[in-house]
Structures are given as structure tokens and as C-alpha cells.
Amino acid sequence: MERIGRGSFAFRQPPRLVSWAAAVGKKEGEGPLGNNFDLVFEDNLLGEDSWEKAESRLVTEAVNACLGKTSLTAEEVDVIFTGDLLNQCIASTFGLREAGVPHVGMYGACSTMASSLISAAVFTESGAACRAVAVTSSHFSSSERQFRNPLQYGGQRPPTAQWTVTGSGAVLLAAEGEQSGEESPALSIAAATVGTIEDLGVTDVNNMGAAMAPAAARTIIRHLSARGLTPSDFDLILTGDLGFVGSELLYELLSREDTDITDRHNDCGMMIFDREGQDVHAGGSGCGCSASVLCGDILPRMAEGRLSRLLFVATGALMSPTSAFQGESIPGVAHAVEIVRRVQRAE
Amino acid sequence: MERIGRGSFAFRQPPRLVSWAAAVGKKEGEGPLGNNFDLVFEDNLLGEDSWEKAESRLVTEAVNACLGKTSLTAEEVDVIFTGDLLNQCIASTFGLREAGVPHVGMYGACSTMASSLISAAVFTESGAACRAVAVTSSHFSSSERQFRNPLQYGGQRPPTAQWTVTGSGAVLLAAEGEQSGEESPALSIAAATVGTIEDLGVTDVNNMGAAMAPAAARTIIRHLSARGLTPSDFDLILTGDLGFVGSELLYELLSREDTDITDRHNDCGMMIFDREGQDVHAGGSGCGCSASVLCGDILPRMAEGRLSRLLFVATGALMSPTSAFQGESIPGVAHAVEIVRRVQRAE
């Protein structure tokens, strides 16, 4: 590993993305990316008796689908990095309770897929683990009742509000030389930047995109600078879930730093739903949003050779209902993971 | 790094513990270790207007005290790994919002000090970071009202219940060759084991010790086996906060594996309070319990040469009030960090 800046590092032996999978709910399955997800559950309870248990099942299903694409079993995974939005991260814990895999829980709100990927990559490249999984999830109904109102309340949603994605995405990483037992796409993690907490004083819990945009801007600038790259070096700069409002703000903040990503930026929250047709206002959100879009849509496109270099910048709003009730503003964080398609060496 | 088992690894260039500090509340200051903590706050609100903000202040104070023992500033820390018990981990987030340090949030309930230390060590040894901080916290009053009852309710506590510690502990790690600018004690992290989730079906949320003991037993067995060591190789095997009830259960579970740690075991939850004099029933608990005991009492003893090899096994109960209300049992996890006192090489 080479430290290339504060919180930024490049991998000398880039960990390989062996497989990935996304499991989502009905609404996500009806969206523009619906055909791309590995699993679409028509029943948002997944046969369970609570939304929380349904979210746990999504985690289980995503990890199983990810491993199911290889000849590996859970016993061959050294460590799993997990996270979700529920209090005390119970979706991940209960979803992986039976798996028996050494478990590291993380919390970075909707940025967690990036921090989990970064941790899995560092553990893998350093030799601490041969294979590691990163997985995160969210569920519209478990989030609504925890963060906002009971579903039955039927509260109005302002135009800046985002819709929490029901979904989970999982990625299996392996050390470069490590064989998966299957032929694998030539994707690997080249570099990463751990985000700083940025808080410009946004207090509107119905405008998370605005709260997270400053963190995304800062992390993108830091990563480009540490790597000595410009936006044009990437085929896609993919933010987590800034949505339509936050993305506009991101462009504005970056333009102040003479950086323009508009011709190669997309946002998982803007991609997963049809904004008009699905009545989602400012787009999707949740730990499962960036995870399922990455695993269901983006990584397959990279594997097919349609994208060569991706900057994945998952963004999180680090508030809670309690902090909001106490009048606190909403701190944001964003972590960047640079994923590249490598030219396979002839063996 | 050398992988020595599934989820277990030994550090080839053991990261150095540069400094550490503990900040605690009034009751902890009145306990048996009271004189050992760096900071004792007589006012459990720390001058703030909510318990949550007070807990955030504890985090800030612990990190500042830790850095204050060196000539380093926060700007010279590459990454900080944090965690607490509050929903969405707001104690850590808000406590470190101003610090500007690249931030990785973790959640492992009361095991988080160990998972944060492990992550900080892996990032440091691998070269991803020159210096990293691990910090966790808990606060009796913020925990009571979130997990149990309003303080004003005055609920009865059963004998198996533990008392959440008001405290925070922070450790600064540096790569082996990295100079801190100050003369430093010769402590380093030699090896670690990431814990698996263990759930034997305990559903009593007033008996967390019993819920966590199986995870502690499993992690201790796994770590000893991966390292080829026995309990007698350690001066102290320190569990996080099993308390009196959980520790007895730990001995029983280990005896079934022909392992006896009774003559060299202690538990942070048993150490921090005077069981009889302070009316804490089964002992202390909380992310801040193991963190403050480690940083306030154990690491100083190691630095003085009174302990040479420590196995620090922080334990967490991975439940939430929601999972308990839904009838779920309480999964436990425990991570092990092996800290050694090294003989300084003559320069």
C-alpha cells in the first residue's frame, strides 16, 4: 500500500473484485435498472414478519447470491464488513448471524458501502485476509418508521426528500494472487480516499442531498489531488445518493474549485428510480442505494468492458432523529473508491 | 501482515501505541480506578445541554488528551476509527465533527474499541496511514434513555443488569518506524482476531454478560489457536464488559474446551466500579467501559513494565430495542487485540 495523501492510498497489489450481487424490493425492480439486479423481491416483507427482518433477509440474499456466483462458500471468507441504517445496525447483524464469518460492523450512514469496501480492500491487500466481503442494506419501510413517521401516518414528503431504497449489495474481494476457483472479471480496487466530516449547517432532514454534497465535493477534490488525476481520467464519477438536489449543489461546489464533473457524473439516487414515473421526488437514498446500483448495474457494465475507470463516492448524512430534535445540523461524509478494469495478463 | 487463521493475523511490523487517554464521568472517577483516568468530569453534562452532547464532548476530550501527550496535532492523524452506542453513532460523529480527520465510523456495540483498534492497526501497518486513532465512548444517561427507560422513571434493575460507563478512551497508533516527536512507551499490537457472531439464544436484555460470553469464549479459543499460545503466555486476558455474571459463564464455556484463564483474567466491567459500594449490580458496560479501562489503567501499567503481554477482548451485544421487542435473541461478538510490551532496541 502506498499512502498518497492524508486518508488517501493506492494499492500496490490491487484487490480483485471476484463477484458481486444486488437484491432489491418491488419498487426498485420496477425502476430503470430493474432488469439488472440479481434478485427482485415482489413481497417487500420477503416472507418475514417485520420490515427489519425483511431487511436482514436482503443482506443474507445478497451475500448468498454474491458467493453463489463463485465456487466459494461462506467458510472461505475471512472477514465481512457490514453496515445499515437501523439503530445498532441490526439488519446486518441478524442477516449474517448464521453465516459464521468474522464480522466487522461499520456505520457511515449511506456512505457505508464505500467504507466497507475500503476496509475490505485494505484487509485483503495487507494480507490480513485472503477474501473479504463488503455488504450494506436499507429498507424503505424500516427506515421510514425509524427516521420519519409510521407508514400508516401518510405524511407529506417535500420535493427535496429522497426515497430510501429497499435493497442490499455485496462484493467479494480477494487478494490479487488469490484464486476464486472461477474465471473472474478483471476488476480491482486501485486506490481510495477516506472522507472527512463536513458540515455547512444544513438542518433540513428532508434535504439530505444538500447536507451530503459538501462532503462529496471535498472527497472528490482530495482523491483527484492525491492521485494526480482529473475528472477526464474517469469514465464515471458515481456519487452515492445525493439525488437531484444534492448533485446540482455538488456541481456548484466543485465549480468553485475549477473542477467540472458534469459530463461524467451520475448518482445512484438519480439512477435507481424513474423520477417522474415513480414519485420519488429528489431520488433514492439509503445504504442499499449505492450498494445495489454499484453491484447490480455498474460493476456488470465494467466487467463487460463498457467502463474502465470508476470513482465510486458513497455519501452519508451522519445525523439521527435525536440530533435533529436537539437542533444540530447534519454532518456529511463521503468516501471514494477507485475501481479499475484491468487488462488480464496472458497466462 | 501474516494471516494466521481465518480472521486472525499477526503484524510483521507491529504498529506502535504512541499515546492513549481516558476521559470519564463522576461515578467512574469515584470507582477503584478513579485516580488513573486522565480526565474526570464531575458534571456528567460536561457543561452541555443534553446527555448526547455530553457524550460527544467526552470523545473530543479523550482524543485531545491523547494527542496532547505528544507533539502531534489532529492534522497529523491520517484516519480515525470511532464508535459508540447511540443510534447512528452520533456521539462520535458530533464529537469529531470539527477535527477534520478522515473518519471511519464503526459499530460493534461494546466490542467497538477492539474493532477500531484492529482497523487502525491494519491501516497503519499496511501503509495506508502513518498514524491512526481509535476512540469509542458511552454515557450512562444517553444509553439509559435510548435503550431502557427515561432516567426519571426510576426503573428497578435486576441483579444481572450492568451499568453503562460514562467514558471515552482513545489510542494513537503509528507505523513502526514512524516517529511521534516524543519519547514513547514500547507498546505495540502484535496480532488480532476478528470475532464471529455467536448467539446461544439469550433473550434477557438485562443479562448482556450472558449473551456476550459465548462470543468471548470463541474468540479467545480462536486467537490462542491461531497464535499457538496458551493462556499462560499472557499476563492478562482482559474482557470488555462481561461483568460478574458473564465472566463466570466465560470460565464455564472455556473449561469445556479445556482452557483455564481464571488466574489471569479480568474484566473491564468488573474493574471500573466497586460492585458493592457503587450499587452497579453485575458491573460496568458500554463502548466507553473497555476503552477507558484500557486507556486509563491497563496501558499505563504496561508502559510501566508491570504487564508484558495483554489479550484485550472487547465484547459486544448486537441487539437493539427493536430486535428485542420483536422477540429476537441477543447475538454477541468479541474481537481480540494482542498488545505487547517490546524491548526497545538500542539506537
What's residue B209's pLDDT?
92
| Closest to B111 in 3D by CA, of B324, B327, B293, B288 | B288
Residue A323 neighbours by CB under 8 Å, 6+ apart: A330, B52, B88, B90, B94
Sort out which chain A residues have CB atoms less than 8 A from B51's CB and list them. none
Measured CA to CA, the distance from residue B32 to residue A247 in angstroms comes to: 54
**Nearest by CB to A127, which of B1, B321, B331?**
B1
Average pLDDT over residues A70-76: 96
Q: Cell numbers for B50, please give them.
A: 443534553
**Nearest by CB to A88, which of B50, B130, B319?**
B319
Q: What is the ipTM of this complex?
A: 0.97
Minimal C-alpha gap between A312 and chain B (Å): 16
A105/B115 Cβ within 8 A: yes
Sort out which chain B residues have CB atoms less than 8 A from A93's CB and list them. 197, 318, 331
What's residue A119's pLDDT?
98
Phi/psi-derived region of residue A216, left when phi > 0, alpha when psi is between -120 and 50, beta in every other case: alpha
Sort out which chain A residues have CB atoms less than 8 A from B102's CB and list them. 6-7, 193-196
Measured CA to CA, the distance from residue A5 to residue A9 in angstroms comes to: 7
Closest-CA residue of B relative to A321 is B87
**Nearest by CB to A107, which of B9, B107, B331?**
B107
Measured CA to CA, the distance from residue A115 to residue A295 in angstroms comes to: 15
Minimal C-alpha gap between A13 and chain B (Å): 12
Neighbours of B263 (CB within 10 A): 8
What's residue A347's pLDDT?
45
Closest-CA residue of A relative to B110 is A88
**Nearest by CB to A97, which of B1, B107, B197?**
B197
What's residue B156's pLDDT?
86
Model pLDDT for residues A216-269, shown as the tens digit of each residue: 999 999 999 999 999 999 999 999 999 999 999 999 999 999 999 999 999 999
Model pLDDT for residues B80-116, shown as the tens digit of each residue: 999 999 999 999 999 999 999 999 999 999 999 999 9
3-class DSSP state of A309: strand
Sort out which chain A residues have CB atoms less than 8 A from B146's CB and list them. 322
What's residue B347's pLDDT?
45
| Closest to A319 in 3D by CA, of A206, A162, A151, A163 | A206
What's residue B155's pLDDT?
83
Sort out which chain B residues have CB atoms less than 8 A from A326's CB and list them. 49-50, 52-53
Task: Give the rounded distance of the alpha carbon of A268 from its chain centre.
Answer: 9
Residue with cell 417522474: A276
Q: Please determine, for residue B196, whether its predicted confidence score (pLDDT) is greater than 60.
A: yes
What's residue B185's pLDDT?
54
B83/A88 Cβ within 8 A: no
Q: Which amino acid is at B43?
A: D
Picking from A164, A194, A225 by the largest number of B CB atoms within 10 A of its own CB, the best residue to mutate is A194
Average pLDDT over residues A57-68: 98
- Average pLDDT, whole number, for chain B? 95
Instruction: Give A309's strand partners.
Output: A340
Q: Please determine, for residue B335, whether its predicted confidence score (pLDDT) is greater than 60.
A: yes
| Closest to A63 in 3D by CA, of A96, A34, A85, A37 | A96
Across A10-32, b (16+ Cβ under 10 Å) vs e yields: bbeebbbbbbbbbbbbebbbebb
Q: Please determine, for residue B344, whether its predicted confidence score (pLDDT) is greater than 90.
A: no
What's residue A183's pLDDT?
53
Residue with cell 505495540: B188
- Average pLDDT, whole number, for chain A? 95
Sort out which chain B residues have CB atoms less than 8 A from A106's CB and list them. 104-107
Please name the helix (run of DSSP H) or strand (run of DSSP E) that holds residue B136, with its range, or none. strand B131-138
Measured CA to CA, the distance from residue B43 to residue B164 in angstroms comes to: 16
Confidence category of residue A346, pLDDT binned at 50, 70, 90: very low
What's residue A109's pLDDT?
97
Closest-CA residue of B relative to A13 is B126
Average pLDDT over residues A190-206: 95
Model pLDDT for residues A155-175, shown as the tens digit of each residue: 888 999 999 999 999 999 999
Average pLDDT over residues A88-105: 97
Confidence category of residue B180, pLDDT binned at 50, 70, 90: low
Confidence category of residue B157, pLDDT binned at 50, 70, 90: confident
Instruction: Give A340's strand partners.
Output: A188, A309
Across B188-208, b (16+ Cβ under 10 Å) vs e yields: bbbbbbbbbbbbeebeebbbb
What does each C-alpha distance from A65 to A135, A172, A301 come to in angstroms?
A: 12, 11, 18
Average pLDDT over residues A288-296: 98
What does each C-alpha distance from B328 to A49, A88, A104, A137, A227 come to in angstroms?
A: 12, 14, 21, 19, 46
Across B85-124, b (16+ Cβ under 10 Å) vs e yields: bbbbbbbbbbbbbebebbbbbbbbbbbbbbbbbbbbbbbb
Q: Please determine, for residue B179, whether its predicted confidence score (pLDDT) is greater than 80.
A: no
A130/B197 Cβ within 8 A: no
Contact present, A90 and B327 (Cβ < 8 Å): no
**Nearest by CB to B107, which of A50, A88, A320?**
A88
What's residue A185's pLDDT?
54
A122/B122 Cβ within 8 A: yes
**Nearest by CB to A126, which of B1, B196, B323?**
B1
Picking from B4, B63, B126, B203 by the largest number of A CB atoms within 10 A of its own CB, the best residue to mutate is B126
Q: Please determine, for residue B346, whether its predicted confidence score (pLDDT) is greater than 70.
A: no
Of the given ranges (A87-91, B277-281, B295-299), which has the lowest mean pLDDT?
B277-281
Residue A86 neighbours by CB under 8 Å, 6+ apart: A52, A55, A142, A143, A146, B320, B322
Q: What's the angle, vertex CA B14, arms to CA B11 and CA B18, rounded to 5?
A: 150
Measured CA to CA, the distance from residue B250 to residue B231 in angstroms comes to: 14
Q: Cell numbers for B316, please give them.
A: 459486544
A83/B104 Cβ within 8 A: no
Q: Cell numbers for A102, please give them.
A: 468474522
Q: Are strands A8-10 and A2-5 parallel, antiparallel or unpaired?
A: antiparallel
Minimal C-alpha gap between B44 and chain A (Å): 18
3-class DSSP state of A240: coil
Q: Please determine, for residue A301, whether its predicted confidence score (pLDDT) is greater than 70.
A: yes
Q: Please determine, for residue A184, whether its predicted confidence score (pLDDT) is greater than 80.
A: no
Q: Please determine, for residue A182, whether its predicted confidence score (pLDDT) is greater than 70.
A: no
Q: Please determine, for residue B176, whether its predicted confidence score (pLDDT) is greater than 80.
A: no
Q: What is the pTM of this model?
A: 0.97
Contact present, B3 and A128 (Cβ < 8 Å): yes
Q: Please determine, for residue A9, whether its predicted confidence score (pLDDT) is greater than 90.
A: yes
A9/B194 Cβ within 8 A: no
B108/A104 Cβ within 8 A: yes
Of the given ranges (A57-71, A142-156, B82-96), which has the lowest mean pLDDT?
A142-156
A104/B197 Cβ within 8 A: no
Minimal C-alpha gap between A252 and chain B (Å): 22
